[in-house]
Amino acid sequence: MMDIRELNERIQQESSFVDAIKHEMAKVIVGQHTMIDRLLIGLLTGGHILLEGVPGLAKTMAIKSLANTIDAKFSRIQFTPDLLPADLIGTLIYSQKNEAFVVRKGPIFANFILADEINRAPAKVQSALLESMQERQVTIGESTFKLHEPFLVLATENPIEQEGTYPLPEAQLDRFMLKVVIGYPDREDERSIMRRNLLHEFPSTSKVVDQQSILTARSVVKDVYIDEKIENYILDIVIATRNPGQFKLRNLEGLISHGGSPRASIYMAMASKAHAFIKRRGYVVPEDVRAICADVLRHRIGVTYEAEAENITTEHIIEQILNTVEVP
């Protein structure tokens, strides 16, 4: 218990910048508290995040605002159907002066990468992100370059426009730690948004934390205590997506084509620790797991044609699993 108390005190000190970031982002973003928390979870774990929502919900603005609060390099890449992998990672250019090919690095060499409307680019460009997302490195020609930490890919996706879009392959979807679905604001939030945009000068965010503080916080997040009972709870949830009949969920057996990979278990544990850190706690509770469960699993569960015919979504499946699996 003493260790937990000491850890709580340490987290109280190390997590002070979380409130500072939230305060800065509140100047620009109205509401959307869940989205901001998920961006912070990605920042604290190094996990990449996919934001899905219709245009105009401040997805791009939220990511830019977060980058502005941190003393880090930011790159925005607008994905289009004619984008080439070289536009993303860079290429070799012949230098007449040196009489040799030299590397010209692309926008991927930054701390924050905003991949705007990622589903507008063809698979060849999307796959160019895979090495950088998983290995934290980029290969150009015969040279391999390590990417500087913190490195975070934050991608946005438009779910309603199908023309000129390319669905993300399963291998790439699995590399995103969280898929966050953003809905419309409520009436009063939208009134505040409207008023802010009518001001003479739109608010902006300021830098409140440096890179080293983020890297230190990541180390502290790894120290957050997770009990074996919580580990078993996470494993039960993930295994239920693969073998629902094992948990008396036989009605889901014909609805799930494939369940979560081992990355689902890893990311759920990591995200639960980061969620506890944001809540200024040194230990994980079941509510942390339940809070981030849908964001970790919604892009890792495949639904069958029968499920689509009955309008059953991954959210319905996750809800049933959470309502059935025993909470420690």
Q: pLDDT tens digits, the chain, 328 residues: what are they? A: 447 778 888 888 878 888 888 888 888 888 778 888 898 999 899 899 998 877 777 777 787 888 888 877 888 888 888 888 888 888 888 778 877 888 888 889 988 888 888 888 877 887 778 778 888 888 887 888 888 888 888 888 877 656 666 777 777 788 899 998 888 888 888 888 888 878 777 777 788 888 888 888 888 899 898 999 999 999 999 999 998 888 888 888 888 888 888 999 999 999 999 999 998 888 899 999 999 999 999 999 888 888 888 888 888 999 999 999 888 8
What are the b/e assignments for 120-133, b being 16+ CB within 10 Å? bbeeebbebbebbb
Distant-in-sequence, close-in-space partners of 73: CB < 8 Å, separation ≥ 6: 110, 111, 112
- Show me where the domains of the chain are located: 2-183+209-215, 224-324
Residue from 240, 253, 251 nearest 293 by CA: 240
Q: What does pLDDT average to over the chain?
A: 85
- 245 DSSP assignment: G
2-183+209-215 has which fold? Rossmann fold (3.40.50)
Coil vs helix vs strand at 94:
strand
Q: Do residues 257 and 317 touch, judged by C-beta distance below 8 A?
A: no
Coil vs helix vs strand at 54:
coil
Q: Do residues 264 and 297 touch, judged by C-beta distance below 8 A?
A: yes
**Residue bearing tokens 């080439």:** 84
224-324 has which fold? Helicase, Ruva Protein; domain 3 (1.10.8)
* Tens-place pLDDT, residues 51-95: 887 777 777 778 788 888 887 788 888 888 888 888 888 888 877
